[in-house]
Amino acid sequence: MSDPSSHGPIRSFGRIKSRALKPRQAALFDTLLPTVALPDPANGPLDPAAIMPGAKQVWLEIGFGGGEHLAGQAARHPDTLMIGCEPFLNGVGSALRHIEEGGLKNVRIHADDARAVLAALPDTSVDHVLILFPDPWPKARHAKRRLVQADVAAELARILKVGGKLRFVTDWKAYADWALARFLETPGLVWMAEAADDWRNAPADHIRTRYEDKHLGDTEPVFLLFERRAAPAA
């Protein structure tokens, strides 16, 4: 039997597809997705300046679900390159509908594992990373499948500009503790909380999604915000 590790990293997400795509969404895969697809990171490094010349900032949303937050932030910040990663095809279809309805020109979609995009982005190239309600893998034996691991945290710190922000949100207590521990151990990332309300209350620019309204976790949403600071000299 072949070694599973030889086939790439352990999947941090569940289903790729849950139901047949609606006809409109299926059509957008053929018409719209080719125009907003991120260049394939397997083909080499990604250059945000080439993807959207003149963009004032670069934001990366990992696991955008149905795309409501991604599209909402893109509409608010039309001069920002919004890169969204999501392997769940029904979510991609939903996001494409939001992009079309909003006439958004600043969104690029990677319909696959975000870790390939992280590896292809240059150092200090991203202003804001958002990870909102990722698959929690709540059972202890599945914790190794969570997106936030030490290596991913290090990659996030690498791609963030000094002063750049990382926002992580979950409604599962165990994942909040898990993620906080790994981000705190990552050189260059500093937790910005000064009081309990800083992680209990949503940031002013937060956009609620249908997932958040379902209250599927075991706690109210926990908002963890980190800033990229210069790592201490070795």
Mean pLDDT for 216-225 is 95
Q: Please give the pLDDT value at position 19.
A: 67
Give the C-alpha separation, 10 to 50, whole Å: 31
> Which amino acid is residue 186, in one-letter code?
T
Choose the catalytic residue: 123, 135, 198, 218: 135
Domain 38-228 has CATH 3.40.50.1820: no
Answer yes or no: are the C-beta atoms of 84 and 109 closer than 8 Å.
yes
Q: How many CA atoms lie within 13 A of 82 on its CB side?
A: 24
> Which amino acid is residue 185, in one-letter code?
E
Tens digit of pLDDT for each residue in 10-44? 554 444 545 678 888 889 999 999 999 999 999 99
Verify whether residue 213 is a known catalytic residue. Answer: no
Q: With bands split at pLDDT 50, 70 and 90, how would you rate the model's confidence at 139?
A: confident
Highest mean predicted confidence (pLDDT) among 4-8, 121-125, 138-142? 121-125
Give the C-alpha separation, 69 to 60, whole Å: 12
Q: With bands split at pLDDT 50, 70 and 90, how would you rate the model's confidence at 230?
A: confident
Is pLDDT above 60 for 211? Answer: yes
Unique residue bearing structure tokens 């006809």: 23
Q: Please give the pLDDT value at position 18.
A: 56
With the C-alpha atoms ordered 124, 126, 132, 137, is the resulting torsion angle positive or negative?
A: negative
Percentage of the chain beyond pLDDT 70 is 90
Q: Please give the pLDDT value at position 145.
A: 87
Strand, coil or helix: what is 108?
strand
Alpha helix positions (H), the chain? 23-31, 33-36, 48-51, 68-76, 89-102, 114-120, 150-159, 173-184, 197-200, 210-214
Q: Please give the pLDDT value at position 214.
A: 87
- Average pLDDT, whole number, for the chain? 90
Q: Please give the pLDDT value at position 79.
A: 98
Query: Which residues touch 115 (CB under 8 Å, ≥6 apart)?
Result: 9, 12, 152, 155
Mean pLDDT for 179-200 is 96
Mean pLDDT for 47-74 is 97
Is pLDDT above 80 for 71? Answer: yes
Query: Which residues touch 93 (CB under 8 Å, ≥6 apart)?
Result: 21, 22, 25, 26, 28, 29
Q: Global pTM?
A: 0.90
Percentage of the chain beyond pLDDT 90 is 79
Is pLDDT above 60 for 7? Answer: no
* Closest listed residue to residue 158, CA positions, set 193, 115, 191: 115
Give the C-alpha separation, 206 to 84, whole Å: 16
Is pLDDT above 70 for 191? Answer: yes
Q: Please give the pLDDT value at position 10.
A: 52
